[in-house]
């Protein structure tokens, strides 16, 4: 029987937790020229891993392994590689021929919403496909792995080629806009059309990746994975579209762009929370590595902890801190010196040392026949990463926030979700410690 307490602990709180975490990182924590996919993937992966392993019953969940963290970073990084900036002008009814000269033609706003939805499907769907591969619901032989990856890559290529070879089917306003000779003469008729072709070709490619992953699981009749892929794809498509009205002329403002990004992160996190509740329930027929016997299982488990959890965590720390450290040298008014020029090296040495200590301890336990813990402090690992990376990325943005109302408005879309994410984390943590789940 499903009780209100069960729904609160298993659905409502995880949705709010993942939503606030996503909102704060989507609009607040970014790495150089990589969008928010990587960092969002890391923090969502760590949060999901914590939710999966922190229950007092210690029952393995289908998507509860450490590989989920690595898959989350990889999937959201890949899904976030295509842009969506051009679609925001389409929902305003404007298709730019030459943005610099102000040349444009009218376009139905519905096309803009449609492509934003498809972009979201690709953004979250690609991640959903990669994340579903970590699920130990049914064993899969090696030849099916080859077929799975081949189908995904093949359909991604086919969808991209369709967009490039049959522009009359894909490109908007094909009868009104001259899409010919873009490479030979980019300034002849429609300079911005080259961007349109590139953006839609990328969107179609990642949509093909998504469809390929979905088709393979349908053919295998693995309905758990089918549900996971469909939920993430459609959910993120809706997340992208829901607050797209913030880009209408009535609401045009640099600050509101951050609010739209935050809404994508919040609704994307809620999508993951729904997936967690529906598709990551404990299963008696689970065949994960945690249930295998023998020394090989310990080594596989050690690899899962080191490569699946610690590797993406330490690499992300390095890249984020390397990018943001220069802000603080300027913020504190420090003059350029030898230490500042070598900060990347010192950071790499520090994180490598941490990685070596963790690896040595984990491998020693495996070699000694001791059990490799399922990161029992996964919650504190998440919390440390969540707080440190956010502060490294955004602490300088809070300068003058008390006396400046416009500054408070700028900080709100990522500052408020960050605080609420911490609140919901502690709600879940203390409720689980008291064995209320």
Give yes or no for a contact between 88 and 64, defined as CB atoms under 8 angstroms apart: no
Q: Residue 98 forms beta bridges with which residues?
A: 103
What pLDDT is recorded for position 436? 47
Residue entry with tokens 């050690």: 302
Sequence-ordered alpha helix ranges (H) in 102-221: 109-132, 142-165, 167-170, 193-220
pLDDT 10s digits, 76-97: 999 888 778 788 888 888 888 8
Can you tell me the distance from the alpha carbon of 2 to that of 434, in angstroms, rounded to the nearest whole number?
Answer: 19
Average pLDDT over residues 341-353: 81
Average pLDDT over residues 144-165: 94
Average pLDDT over residues 355-363: 87
What pLDDT is recorded for position 61? 85
What pLDDT is recorded for position 184? 46
What pLDDT is recorded for position 22? 94
Which pLDDT band holds residue 158 (cuts at 50, 70, 90)?
Answer: very high
Q: Which of 82-86, 143-147, 252-256, 302-306 has the lowest mean pLDDT?
A: 252-256
Average pLDDT over residues 190-201: 82
Which pLDDT band holds residue 290 (cuts at 50, 70, 90)?
Answer: very low
Higher pLDDT, 335 or 419: 419
With a CB cutoff of 8 Å and minimum separation 6, the contacts of 109 are 90, 91, 92, 93
Query: What does the block give as tokens for 272?
Result: 């993951």
Could you give the dihedral angle defined by the CA atoms of residues 155, 156, 159 and 163, in that order, rounded to the nearest 10 degrees?
A: -160
Give yes or no for a contact between 389 and 43, defined as CB atoms under 8 angstroms apart: yes
Residue entry with tokens 């010196």: 337
Average pLDDT over residues 109-114: 91
Higher pLDDT, 341 or 159: 159
Can you tell me the distance from the alpha carbon of 76 to that of 103, in angstroms, rounded to the nearest whole number?
Answer: 35
Higher pLDDT, 56 or 131: 131
What pLDDT is recorded for position 331? 58
Average pLDDT over residues 387-407: 76
Q: With the C-alpha atoms ordered 79, 85, 91, 97, is the resulting torsion angle positive or negative?
A: negative
Higher pLDDT, 348 or 272: 272
What pLDDT is recorded for position 267? 96
Q: If we measure between CA atoms, which residue out of 189, 163, 197, 234 comes closest to residue 83?
A: 197
What pLDDT is recorded for position 24? 93
Higher pLDDT, 431 or 152: 152
Please give the mean pLDDT across all residues of the chain.
83
Residue 426 parent element (H or E): helix 405-433
Which pLDDT band holds residue 312 (cuts at 50, 70, 90)?
Answer: very high
Report the first-to-last Cα separation within the chain, whole angstroms.
14
Q: Which of 69-78, 208-217, 242-251, 399-408 has the lowest mean pLDDT?
A: 399-408
pTM for this entry: 0.90
Range from 93-97, 210-214, 283-287 that averages highest in pLDDT: 210-214
Higher pLDDT, 419 or 173: 419
pLDDT at 400 exceeding the cut of 70: no
Average pLDDT over residues 432-437: 65
Average pLDDT over residues 160-172: 89
Which pLDDT band holds residue 74 (cuts at 50, 70, 90)?
Answer: very high
């Amino acid at each position: 029987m499903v009780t209100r307490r069960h729904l609160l602990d298993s659905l409502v709180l995880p949705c709010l937790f993942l939503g606030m975490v996503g909102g704060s990182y989507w609009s607040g924590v970014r790495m150089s020229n990589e969008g928010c996919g990587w960092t969002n993937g890391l923090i969502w992966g760590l949060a999901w891993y914590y939710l999966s392993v922190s229950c007092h019953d210690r029952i393995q969940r289908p998507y509860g392994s450490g590989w989920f963290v690595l898959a989350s970073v990889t999937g959201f990084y890949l899904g976030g590689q295509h842009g969506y900036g051009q679609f925001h002008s389409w929902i305003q009814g404007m298709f730019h021929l030459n943005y610099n000269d102000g040349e444009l033609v009218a376009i139905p706003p519905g096309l803009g919403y449609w492509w934003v939805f498809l972009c979201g499907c690709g953004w979250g769907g690609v991640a959903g496909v990669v994340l579903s591969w970590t699920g130990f619901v049914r064993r899969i032989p090696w030849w099916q792995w080859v077929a799975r990856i081949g189908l995904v890559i093949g359909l991604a290529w086919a969808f991209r080629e369709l967009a490039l070879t049959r522009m009359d089917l894909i490109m908007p306003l094909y009868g009104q806009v001259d899409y010919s000779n873009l490479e030979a003469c980019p300034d002849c008729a429609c300079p911005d059309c080259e961007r349109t072709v590139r953006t839609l070709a990328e969107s179609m490619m990642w949509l093909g990746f998504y469809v390929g992953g979905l088709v393979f699981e349908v053919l295998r009749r693995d309905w758990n994975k089918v549900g996971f892929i469909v939920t993430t794809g459609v959910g993120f498509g809706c997340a992208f579209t829901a607050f797209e009205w913030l880009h209408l002329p009535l609401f045009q403002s640099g600050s509101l762009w951050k609010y739209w990004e935050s809404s994508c992160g919040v609704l994307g996190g809620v999508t993951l929370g729904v997936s967690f509740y529906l598709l990551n329930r404990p299963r008696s027929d689970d065949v994960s590595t945690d249930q295998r016997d023998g020394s090989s299982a310990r080594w596989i488990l050690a690899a899962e902890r080191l490569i699946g959890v610690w590797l993406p965590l330490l690499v992300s720390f390095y890249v984020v801190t390397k990018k943001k450290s220069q802000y603080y040298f300027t913020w504190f008014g420090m003059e350029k010196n030898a230490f500042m020029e070598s900060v990347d090296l010192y950071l790499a040495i520090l994180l490598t040392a941490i990685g070596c200590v963790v690896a040595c301890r984990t491998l020693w336990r495996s070699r000694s026949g001791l059990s490799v813990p399922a990161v029992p402090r996964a919650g504190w690992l998440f919390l440390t990463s969540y707080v440190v990376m956010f502060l490294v990325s955004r602490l300088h943005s809070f300068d003058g926030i008390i006396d400046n109302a416009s500054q408070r408005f700028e900080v709100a879309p990522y500052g408020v979700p960050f605080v609420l994410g911490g609140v919901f984390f502690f709600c879940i943590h203390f409720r689980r410690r008291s064995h209320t789940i």
